Amino acid sequence: MKKGLLPLLFFISFMASAQRWSVEKANAWYSKQPLFVGANYIPATAINELEMWQADTFDPATIDKELGWAEGLGMNIMRVFLHNIPYETDKEGFISRINQFLAIADKHHIKIMFVLFDSCWNDNPKAGKQMEPVVGKHNSGWVRIPGTKMLFDSRTWGSLEAYTKGIIGTFANDKRVIVWDMFNEPSNSGYNDAVMPLLRKSFEWARAAKPSQPITAGWWTDHPMSNDFMLGNSDIITFHNYKDPKNLEDQIKELQAKYKRPVICTEYMARKHKSTFETCLPVFEKYKVGAINWGLVMGKSNTIYAWDEPMPQGGEPALWFHDIFRPDGSVYKQSEVEAIKATTQKAAKAIKNAQ
């Protein structure tokens, strides 16, 4: 082989691995998957991603217990947020804890969709002890990834590149990880167009890590610049919908018709907005769209309270906003449990019949 051909062949090989999946590859992958039904997960003992993952507060006993409850519902996927700070401060320990978490999830037959970046809620995340929850306030302690300071200073992105490539590269062929969700609601918190450079880089870094799993980032609101990029570069299509089942069905049909790719809803279920298990799960099942609601167990994240309706006196609201279980394992509403089980049992039966 001529010496000059080696760099060219390497470049061609890299570009092939760094490109978006074809429609055919994405649909072939999805045809082998069950109907995904699960939740966005953080243990009840953690107020945010840092408290979940830092060594002093990582809580495998609670995680094991709560994922056992999810398994009891037939859930088979959890969407879980990571954070760059534990990678920067305790890389080996963080990766070890991720491995431990994945082992627990795998024991309960649950696949994991990891989220690497997030523009939601509180700014200026810091390592160490996290704040206590504000009584009755939704997500009072959730923190952005990486936060405004790093978002607007590209000189600091070397550590974000190392975090992205390091995490995805480590688990690139791990069957316990099912999808990489690169950026949650990137244009949120008023970032709008300013988030685009980091959003683009997150995909570039992820592709460079050559994961065997699909890469995505999901539609959440009408911000054309980020939506065009995410929907045009994701291997599979993901989206958020906290509205009624008619709106949900219309959005699913639009996304499936336009992109011809697998579709997963990575956030839904806000009871006050008529997004419920009983009404939405039949829609997801009808179109074979994955369904990942927000919240599994009520806890320090305070997501039983609505985004815009704090309850300073605390206590349980009559109508929970998110979540399914109380910390003792009792459920908010038995009819919801029955609706979830009806869907997951049919999905499990379909897999068995196909074998």
Q: How confident is the model over 290-301, as pLDDT tens digits?
A: 999 999 999 999
In this prediction, residue 10 carries a pLDDT of 40
| Contact in structure between 293 and 277 (CB atoms under 8 Å) | yes
Domains of the chain: 22-354 (3.20.20.80)
In this prediction, residue 100 carries a pLDDT of 98
In sequence order, what are the residues at sequence separation of 6 or more whose Cβ sits closer than 8 angstroms to the Cβ of residue 12?
Answer: none
With 0-12 / 13-18 / 19 or more C-beta atoms within 10 angstroms meaning exposed / middle / buried, residue 98 is buried
Grade residue 350 by pLDDT with cuts at 50, 70 and 90.
confident
In this prediction, residue 243 carries a pLDDT of 98
| Bond into 146 cis (ω within 30) | yes
The verdict on pTM exceeding 0.75 is: yes
State the Cα–Cα distance between residues 285 and 287, nearest whole angstrom.
6
If DSSP codes are grouped into helix, strand and coil, which group holds residue 302?
coil
State the Cα–Cα distance between residues 254 and 257, nearest whole angstrom.
5
Percent of the chain predicted with pLDDT > 90:
92
Pairing of strands 177-184, 111-118: parallel
If DSSP codes are grouped into helix, strand and coil, which group holds residue 153?
coil
Helices first, then strands: H and E counts in the chain: 13, 8
| Contact in structure between 176 and 102 (CB atoms under 8 Å) | yes
Cα-based distances in Å from 61 to 9, 11, 65, 246:
49, 46, 6, 40
The predicted model gives 224-232 an average pLDDT of: 97
**pLDDT tens-digit readout, 144-199:** 999 999 999 999 999 999 999 999 999 999 999 999 999 999 999 999 999 999 99
* DSSP calls for 79-130: EEE--HHHHHH-HHHHHHHHHHHHHHHHHTT-EEEEEEEE--SB-S--SSSP
